[in-house]
Structure 1
Amino acid sequence: MTGSILTRRALGTIGAGLLATPALAQRAAWPDRPVTLVVPFTPGGASDTLARQVAQHFPRFANGQALVVENRAGAGGLVGGAYVAGQRPDGNILLMADIGANAIGKELNPRLGYDPMTAFTPIIHLVNLPAVFFAHPSVPERTVADVIARARARPDAYTYASAGVGNGSHLFMALLCRRAGISMVHIPYRSGSEIVTSVMRNETQLGFPSLSSALQMLKEGAIRPIAMGNPGGSPAMPGVPPVSDTLAGFDIGVWYGVAAPAGMAPDLAQRINEIFAGIAALPEVRDAVFNSQAGNVVGGTREDFTRFLQKEYDTWTPVIREGGIRQE
């Protein structure tokens, strides 16, 4: 009798192992071919730079397979987002996630063919990049409080540049104006570098892009920093105070992550998270992100990223709706 029970138990254990084998094998086998990471912006920008830094180390963690960076720019990231949202959730095509494609795109463009909050499987929050509020050197105001006071007295006193309608650099200024109860004239361009050029030429007076896009010109004195977007500031710009010293709770910045099409098997999504988390933990990657973009690597779980995306949606949706911000 005892032998019979042991045999049944042994067979049950073997059977359970056999049932688990396909999922475990699939998880361990991914990837079995090169993986495409779609960057929804043009080459040379912050997200593209990050993608290529990550791609250098991907084969080491991913069965020797390559991570191929593919740029699909347009509509503030929505073209690339829509493309990835329509792919199979097999892990072969991933998206460099950002605020437009993965949090607020439908609010900016109601005709968007997908809902960013349901069209993707969040994988990992990769980095945060600080944003800097700066001015042309001829602007006499030196602090956020000074800028607010002048804008209240003269609503047409300032024009500001952004990298496009609904871009983070637009929303950051829209949030500042909303919190301060002021208005400014918005002039949209197409990239962070164009924001810097516009303010340098005094075509516009103010800008609020990622620090990485403006750092060199700030160091050279071609533009003047007023404040940092995040409460902690940045070691790359010591002594520059945060906006939150004037507007309590103000906390903004540029971020990027990785997302996959919706419906991905949890086991596969976890495998992909672990691979990118391994890359993000490398000291050389952390150093590269800081040295090239003054940014910080985040990492974390899929659940962490899901909560972060919801927070971003909740933060920016009222700014977009109340400001009547729409992409044509």
Structure 2
Amino acid sequence: MIFRSFVLALTAAAAMAPSVHAQAQPAWPTRPITLVVPQAAGGTNDIVGRLVAQKLGEVLGTSAVVDNRPGAGGNIGTQLVAKGPKDGYTLLMTISSTQAINPSLYKNPGFDPIKDFKPVALVGSVPNVLLVNPAFPAKNLSELITLAKAKDAAYQYASAGNGTLNHLLGEMLNSMAGIRLQHVPYKGVAPAMNDVMGGQLPIVFASLPSALSQIKAGKLRALAVSGEKRSPALPDVPAIGELVPGYNGTLWIGLFAPADVSADVLAKLQDGMRKALASPELRQKLEAQGVEIAPPTSPEQFEKLMQDDLAKWGRIVKTSGASVD
């Protein structure tokens, strides 16, 4: 009887052991999550990051906050996440211009976009817009190309800085349309747009979310969007690809985790983002900013997109001769 009672006690203890062990492992997440945005507040990535952070926090049962770490074209914030904690509480909300262009633009950007990160979710894409001052004589892209080909001195176009996406969009248009627009770099897209609105320069490329209010107010005229197709936010504005076949300069926005994050935490993040992006409320808010929500995309598909963009923009950077170092 004593032996039987001892065996039963051992059996009960063994059955309880897994649950005791499981209780000792706290569920993830147990504290707030930080989405590092390697661009300044008020830009496209910041706008999208704050909307995504709010919904992701709700889905995961915690809070998620945005931490803006601008500098070096996005390299500073990206390095911070690559070299930071691998526990899933510090993530990178970034854009293709930083993740896919900077490795070609900088001799040492301080991170490897493939080796240092794991894709969590592709959020969506945002076209840039080719904008002109309302007094500029060209009313559409065809007229701009005609004027640019006829003019001896090149028209100037503003960008957010040397090597930025809106700089390279102009270089790609020069190459593919056979024109010569002269690049003038600024320290950010806001001052670039301000000078075009003020008449100091005639042309600027800017992301749709950052320019939409000025377009609607009539302060800037949109000639074309930079994708292969029109944007639902500007259905009457043609795509550059309609006139210049093959032209496509759409910006994507995505969430990444450090490469060494545990598989369990990564899976929870990926599932959380799937649920967040399925939210009609979040989708409506993003679409109102000109973001085209990505179709369901696996992490493998997202990584393939990034590898393709690394090759594409690497060729454009080489052709343009752009360099920050």
2:153, 2:278 → 1: CA distance?
A: 47
Match in the other structure for 2:4: none
> Is the Cα contact below 8 Å between 2:229 and 2:242 reproduced in 1?
no
> Is the Cα contact below 8 Å between 1:168 and 1:209 reproduced in 2?
no
> Is the Cα contact below 8 Å between 1:150 and 1:157 reproduced in 2?
no
1:296 aligns with 2:292: yes
Match in the other structure for 1:8: none
- Over 3 Å counting, the alpha-carbon distance change for 1:279 and 1:150 in structure 2 is same
Flag the structure with larger Rg: 2
> Is the Cα contact below 8 Å between 2:154 and 2:180 reproduced in 1?
no
1:104-161 deviation per Cα after TM superposition (whole angstroms, max 9, x unaligned): 2221110322222322111111121222112112322233233223323336331011
Match in the other structure for 2:171: 174
2:37, 2:65 → 1: CA distance?
A: 10
2:57, 2:210 → 1: CA distance?
A: 29
1:144-190 deviation per Cα after TM superposition (whole angstroms, max 9, x unaligned): 23322332333633101111122221121121112123222111123
Match in the other structure for 2:237: 240
1:223-264 deviation per Cα after TM superposition (whole angstroms, max 9, x unaligned): 211112123312322321111121112222222110111233
1:195 aligns with 2:192: yes
Alignment gaps of 5+ in structure 1: 1-13
1:253 aligns with 2:250: yes
Counterpart of 2:150 (choices 144, 153, 160) is 153
Match in the other structure for 1:319: 316
Aligned residues: 309
Match in the other structure for 1:117: 114
SS at match of 2:65: strand
Counterpart of 2:46 (choices 35, 44, 48) is 48
1:108, 1:224 → 2: CA distance?
A: 30
For residue 325 of structure 1, report the CA deviation from its aligned partner.
0.8
Match in the other structure for 2:7: none
Matched AA of 2:241: S
> Is the Cα contact below 8 Å between 1:162 and 1:170 reproduced in 2?
yes
Matched AA of 1:295: V
Alignment gaps of 5+ in structure 2: 1-13
Matched AA of 1:55: A
- Over 3 Å counting, the alpha-carbon distance change for 1:68 and 1:239 in structure 2 is closer
2:218, 2:58 → 1: CA distance?
A: 41
Match in the other structure for 2:30: 32
2:209, 2:128 → 1: CA distance?
A: 8
SS at match of 1:209: strand
1:50-87 deviation per Cα after TM superposition (whole angstroms, max 9, x unaligned): 1211222233321x221121111101111101111112
> Is the Cα contact below 8 Å between 1:137 and 1:222 reproduced in 2?
yes
> Is the Cα contact below 8 Å between 2:36 and 2:92 reproduced in 1?
yes
2:274, 2:231 → 1: CA distance?
A: 23
Match in the other structure for 2:214: 217
1:18-69 deviation per Cα after TM superposition (whole angstroms, max 9, x unaligned): 7xx97xx97x92222211110101122221121211222233321x221121
2:32, 2:218 → 1: CA distance?
A: 44
Match in the other structure for 1:68: 65
For residue 201 of structure 1, report the CA deviation from its aligned partner.
1.2
SS at match of 1:222: coil
Matched AA of 1:37: L
> Is the Cα contact below 8 Å between 1:155 and 1:183 reproduced in 2?
no
Q: TM-score, normalised by structure 1?
A: 0.86
Aligned residues: CA RMSD: 2.5
2:28, 2:293 → 1: CA distance?
A: 24
Q: TM-score, normalised by structure 2?
A: 0.87
Matched AA of 2:290: A
